[in-house]
Structure 1
Amino acid sequence: MKPVFGKPTKEQLAAAEAVVREHFEDKIGSGVFDDWSSQIGKTFSRPLALLPAPLAMKRRRYPKERYDALLALRTRDRGVLTRRGVVNLLAFALAIDALITPTIPQPVRNDYMIALLGQRFMRREVYSRTVMRYSSRREKTGVIRYGPNRPEELTRRVEEEVPTKEYCRIRRSDRRYIGRRLWKAMEKMLLSGGRKGATWSDMKEKVATAAHGLHGPEKTPQRDLASPACTSAKPVPRTSACLPARSRRAVVERDSQHSSFALLSGLIHGADERRGFGEPLRLCQGNAVFRGNDAR
């Protein structure tokens, strides 16, 4: 199953395992935790006689019918659960419930950890085996027999062993079923109050704090107040060299218009002073009409 909402990293799993070992430190030291682990391991192990062929397992429709066979397959691959296996599974569930479950929307929030726990317990998605089967074929001998009807080439039957691979895919419903049974046993044996109890909540808070300490707080860029750019009070003038080509052309044209207008205004001023208080000259620039120095 693809972890759609993500899975914990190695550092997060290490932090969760440290929290679990710290919480059960007294029980591990006294040997009680080993008895609990042994009981859980015996509950989730089956003899190899219950493991059918892959094609025979395909005929079992429901997860309850395939439950014993899958536990026998897991026992054949990984052996019986030990203390280390129980601690690792509990730390895996704790890391998911503390860091990933709060980010998952309903209605898949609670089942996500259960499904990944079952997948972690099985450690495989396909059950397959290779068997040798006998197959027969006919090949030509190169000998021609002349009969009453027509000549015919003789053939012979050859039997040979052919490796054939049988497989059965482990379904997601199987992993959810196994994860639900496994979590129920661990919850009953190791955690008082279960998933909603105070013990599990305290452990989740410790894991979240440890994960936050691993990554650290997010750093926001800050300006250095002692730098010259922050201490200078005068704004930096924006010259025409900093502008693009089109903007520079517009600035040059505007400056030339202002300079020509100032020159004409000076000429008009002098003409008015020489003529006295007569009618001032009219100048037009665009849509504006200028009478002397007054603009309308």
Structure 2
Amino acid sequence: MEILQGRDLSGKVVIVTGANSGIGFETSRSLALHGAHVVLACRNRARGNVAIQKILDEWHKAKVETMTLDLSSLRNVEQFAEAYKTRNLPLHILICNAGVFGSSWQLTEDGLETTFQVNHLGHFYLIQLLQDVLRRSIPSRVIIVSSESHRFTDIKDSSGKLDLSRLSPAKKDYWAMLAYNRSKLCNILFSNELNRRLSPHGVTSNALHPGNMMYTSIHRSWWLYTLLFTLARPFTKSMQQGAATTIYCSIAPELEGLGGMYFNNCCRCLTSQQAQDEASACALWELSEKLIQERAGSQPA
């Protein structure tokens, strides 16, 4: 990968969510093979261990480990953050890569629609809980994997206010694709607001689109998506190409100290108008805090 040529990432500590397969695995692998200490945050610990062994088979000195992280459980997110803090490790790069796509409607143990919680709220809470570690590790970066799908949705009601019923809909109002698109819009709004709040403290945040119709495990929830992704596979990016923009945002020297941007193919791009709306970003932040306070019983930092 060109962006990594000649780079020595020794001393850098990275967390990658959803790291046992697809783009997350390729991101973890590439960073680890260039010296970074990579924590693979995976829902399934066994699969995480398999991913680690694959990396170690390429380079036995790679600094890789797995920790259990289930973004559909706010309690588990807390446990992950607490466990990480006991390690007394810095955190230079936090890559929010995990996501679900095409899932049938279901509620998490916290009473929220799964796509919304896994793709947005779980990552929001994780970053809040690790914010102090990020601030002690400056300059540090948060990278949030979004999608061009963010352009095809709306999360406001007719009055122009942020509508929770659209973000976490009831079963009768649920459409998997729309839920995914809305969660990806949340990713960009959150990234922009996070950068506005933390960049003065040395922590930057950027969002990105990895590639269209990429054949990854994210499509596994429904056979039709699997078929579509399989047919598109010869015309889409490889896993390494898909991980390139994530890695670029994570380590590019020219992005040091710069955030609040959105990237595609390693180039800065304009988002949709709604994704640029500061009022929506602030409202989403406040709603996310409220949901966590109601369910986890704690107020994020």
TM-score by length of 1: 0.27
Structure with a larger share of its residues in helix: 1
Question: Could you say which structure has the larger radius of gyration?
Answer: 1
